[in-house]
Structure 1
């Protein structure tokens, strides 16, 4: 596997230096896709190291992509393949992500938590935007961070970015910031758990309705026991479910905004239909009408994460550290304050 990775990077580097200038566009596109595959593989390897296992696979791959961009620049000859990963593979990953959403469990057991989940999403978005406005932070990036905080982290940012016509650089920054800050909060929850005076179930609900990513929820809730972990994941799945109506609300808002400002229209996010179809398929067909081995579903889940990692590499290559310093610090501050308030208010509500 190491040899394959080295061969792919060698081809990509040679192409970007112009030695493959005579190569066909198709071969260069394949080389670009292979380039994102190689860095995603490196990101997976970095994620397996102590310390980075808490940061996450997506953020680890983005870190490598950003470092590459700063040291060697953007590989222009591979742009078509990199953009294919950043856009097409991103949509494919979101569609496959729908298999992780068990709608049956939500409808039958989690309806009571949906009210709390809706409150979390509404508060996160509005508070992040309000703070961002007060401190004159970038509104586009702040909106992505608010949605990621309220819904389900990187997956939510990736899902709504095409709807909001967000810059690829903002998407990558949003994913990286949420992954890192969410990890800090998840670890913080495990540290303060003995001092918050909550039952295991209450602590699980608190984790599920306030933390950023599913992985962060699992990390924080697992030490409190299986019951706490189960209710935490159920609460988190409710927030993932609400990504569907939120996406259509954002699409309606963007249409009104564009019609008022320019008269233009936005493309319908067809990948969301795929997300919904896969959600129903995973909830009511696979494992019921159609028997699927558990290891097969685990394999699809792993593949989905890796495809999403390749997409994040494509996005990460667009990140400039100079822009990170000048553009991301204030949105990060807005998100941090929002996350702290969210944790406090949800804890007090239990």
Structure 2
């Protein structure tokens, strides 16, 4: 028994490993708290805390430059913290809500995702956009905006600058859609439920889709919210498929790569299943609605703090063009689907 068992790390050693991460984590959480507070204090739905935190992180990095003291904490915020937030997000979706849409609307939610992500890769190759950035734009457009982009990067492993660029493009395109879709509802002759489903199937961020749908009244808001949640529920299977796709592409090029198993995606699905049982207290669900934006904002703040803006300029305008094309594509596919329902 002499020296064969490794002693478990005690509280002191855990504290020693945590101490280098504290400056970066504290700054990221501070930015996130400020971003969430600003969104709630202003009452402006379009002020997404994730986007506000990203802008704050970029501004601080531009003003201070890289601070190596922050690096350990930034790494922890970008990955472990984000994955925990994605798992908690599953508490906000139930199978009953999604199934209540009916088979037609569910098929539409699956279709827009199944069309948009492969189209992003195909169009990106022809527009000269890097594959990793194209995949992130496809996931952000097809599923749920910023959350999908930062989650997808756990398997894509694109450069930080690519993630930041994708977040900026998706935010811009989704915000334009938030303004335009309510204006187009009447000329297109859409009923309130049709318009709600269109907004929920076409817009990127949850807040953008719900905000646009709400402009059509309570019936449209309900249809839009649930349609959007159906797309959010596809986050986990889409990430799993994306991981397989990345590994397959690497193998085709003769590059050995290990498939990144997105365990957090399984956790997300587990939470959806748990929420669907009705056993989760309302307090826990409400807490997740408060905690998820905070953790995601902290993660994206870390991304901004780790990003050199000069590297973004080298990406050019082609990814922006791809984001615009994908936004028009998903709006057209969603509208065609609504007309068939």
Task: Please state how far the C-alpha of 1:93 moved relative to its aligned partner.
Answer: 0.5
* C-alpha distance in 2 between matches for 1:79 and 1:34: 12
1:302 aligns with 2:305: no
Match of 2:317 in 1: 329
8 Å contact 2:197–2:224 — kept in the other structure?
Answer: yes
Match of 1:312 in 2: 300
8 Å contact 2:92–2:285 — kept in the other structure?
Answer: no
Match of 1:4 in 2: none
Higher RCO structure, 1 or 2 (CA under 8 Å, sep 6+): 2
Match of 2:167 in 1: 175
Match of 2:247 in 1: 255
Task: Please state how far the C-alpha of 1:65 moved relative to its aligned partner.
Answer: 0.4
1:279 aligns with 2:267: no
- Residue of 232, 237, 240 corresponding to 1:245: 237
- Residue of 101, 109, 117 corresponding to 2:109: 117
Q: Secondary structure of the equivalent of 2:307?
A: coil
1:178-231 Cα offsets, whole Å, 9 max, x none, are 223212211221233332211101101111111111111111011211111111
8 Å contact 2:124–2:130 — kept in the other structure?
Answer: yes
Q: Which moved more, 1:49-58 or 1:272-281?
A: 49-58
Q: Which moved more, 1:257-266 or 1:207-216?
A: 257-266
Match of 2:184 in 1: 192
8 Å contact 1:56–1:179 — kept in the other structure?
Answer: no
For structure 2, the 5+ residue unaligned runs are 1-15
1:81-139 Cα offsets, whole Å, 9 max, x none, are 11111111011001101111212222354432222122211222233333322321222
Match of 1:338 in 2: 326
Q: Which moved more, 1:40-49 or 1:82-91?
A: 40-49
Task: Please state how far the C-alpha of 1:72 moved relative to its aligned partner.
Answer: 0.7
1:23-71 Cα offsets, whole Å, 9 max, x none, are x764331121101111212323443575974141100110010011111
Q: Which moved more, 1:41-50 or 1:57-66?
A: 41-50
Match of 2:258 in 1: 265
8 Å contact 2:179–2:212 — kept in the other structure?
Answer: yes
8 Å contact 1:147–1:156 — kept in the other structure?
Answer: yes
Q: What is the TM-score normalised by the length of structure 1?
A: 0.85
For structure 1, the 5+ residue unaligned runs are 1-23
Counting only pairs closer than 5 Å after superposition, residues 3-14 of structure 1 correspond to structure 2 as none
1:28 aligns with 2:16: no
Distance 1:312 1:329, change over 3 A: same
8 Å contact 2:82–2:299 — kept in the other structure?
Answer: yes
* C-alpha distance in 2 between matches for 1:244 and 1:53: 26
* C-alpha distance in 1 between matches for 2:152 and 2:178: 24
1:235 aligns with 2:223: no
Q: What is the TM-score normalised by the length of structure 2?
A: 0.87
Distance 1:324 1:265, change over 3 A: same
Match of 1:93 in 2: 85
